[in-house]
Structure 1
């Protein structure tokens, strides 16, 4: 594991030149000129998100004022790609079981999801490049070591990735309260990709439309939804239960 932030103009530029995986670049509002223009241009060429923030935020992240108005957040671990995840399932000699996370923002949620994913044999996790937490040091710690064993692919477009997954003969199920059946009344055997939505908004409309079917978790209390990592754990274990039953 390496640092999850790069501070200062020259270090960020060198990271861009080297092809280092960068989640996003934070730039202080009102910062202009010189090397910053080149950094922004190179970042845009690579499709790296740029976010303009107050200088105080950079002070807090860098723990000093020596950031020169720019900080890049980087992956604490290397990402895989979709083909790696599909090959992993093939090598295991079982139906693929993939998790797609639609804009999960909380690093503790992602870490917790990874921990459960490892426990139930998920072949890999797919996250979007934008509006999603990446593989930070906090995620690594929250995963309790699972980050070493669960591949994570970061993709530019979740909707297009779902289309690719479907072409491989994998069914796509979304977790949503509008689902026709409860998770335990739905057949979750066979090649499957499970979609978990954002902590606040759930699965986006477009991604929901891309799903082959939706499943819901029954709720008897006053709170209308579960924490994203809890909902993911319940659904992952239902897939695990059904597969285990089918194998016996």
Structure 2
């Protein structure tokens, strides 16, 4: 039986309660991590929130009213938003910034990783190994909340995070900028030790349960594996990411 780790209730200071307050916060430039919207709530609230969420690439979680009431945030009219703990950046602007600094791009793409402990651990290692940015989708990834920031030892607040509405489109953008996209895949024939990590690249890491989305895998330039002495189903994604990034850092330091 799978055991679920209880999540802490967000602090009230990190919540935006109600449609009006949400719209005002977005107009003031506040970054929103996600919106919790009552699934059977008022139609005008749902329509207005869906529109402004789409305009600002903010993910929506449709939840029952009990979930919203559980925040203990008072009258919410079917809408509560969570203020982002990180500042999201535009991918193309980040690519240009890295290149203008004279650095070789090394990005990390997270596909379907939902455990905030893994995300926090990955961010911590990424920051320590010279990754310039982590790219995440607006849906299907764990929230970069207080738990994730705590697990990352604050790295999520230091490393650049790009949130995109499509990882496939992000891969296209990376390719247009001359950045190769690599994927860790257990059945690949190439070893991680034979990959040239000195090139501009982005590495995709998928979830332990489902791996990398097939269309994303197909769009990759190189697939590689982490050799294992014993037969085992898979490595923890945070541990695997650490192994790959330290191999990349070793090669870049020795060049």
The verdict on a shared fold, with TM-score over 0.5 as the criterion, is yes
Name which of 37, 45, 53 aligns with 1:43: 53
Q: Distance in 2 between matches of 1:43 and 1:190?
A: 36
Structure 1 unpaired stretches of 5+: none
Cross-structure match for 1:116 = 125
CA 190–35 in structure 1, closer or farther in 2 if over 3 Å, else same: closer
Cross-structure match for 2:7 = none
Q: Distance in 2 between matches of 1:33 and 1:186?
A: 52
Q: Does 1:129 align with 2:138?
A: yes
CA 124–49 in structure 1, closer or farther in 2 if over 3 Å, else same: closer
Cross-structure match for 2:192 = 183
Normalising to structure 1: TM-score of the pair? 0.86
Name which of 139, 143, 147 aligns with 1:138: 147
Q: 1:241 offset after TM fit, Å? A: 1.3
Q: How does 1:154-233 map to 2 (within 5 A)?
A: 154-221=163-230, 223-233=232-242
CA 149–87 in structure 1, closer or farther in 2 if over 3 Å, else same: farther
Aligned partners of 2:85 and 2:157 also within 8 Å: no
Q: 1:195 offset after TM fit, Å? A: 0.8
Q: Distance in 2 between matches of 1:3 and 1:131?
A: 25
Cross-structure match for 2:15 = 5
Normalising to structure 2: TM-score of the pair? 0.84
What secondary structure is seen at the aligned counterpart in 2 of 1:118?
A: helix
Cα RMSD over matched residues? 2.4
Structure 2 unpaired stretches of 5+: 1-11
Q: Distance in 2 between matches of 1:124 and 1:44?
A: 23
CA 183–4 in structure 1, closer or farther in 2 if over 3 Å, else same: farther
Q: Does 1:25 align with 2:38?
A: no
Cross-structure match for 2:4 = none
Q: Distance in 1 between matches of 2:107 and 2:139?
A: 20
Q: Distance in 1 between matches of 2:157 and 2:63?
A: 32
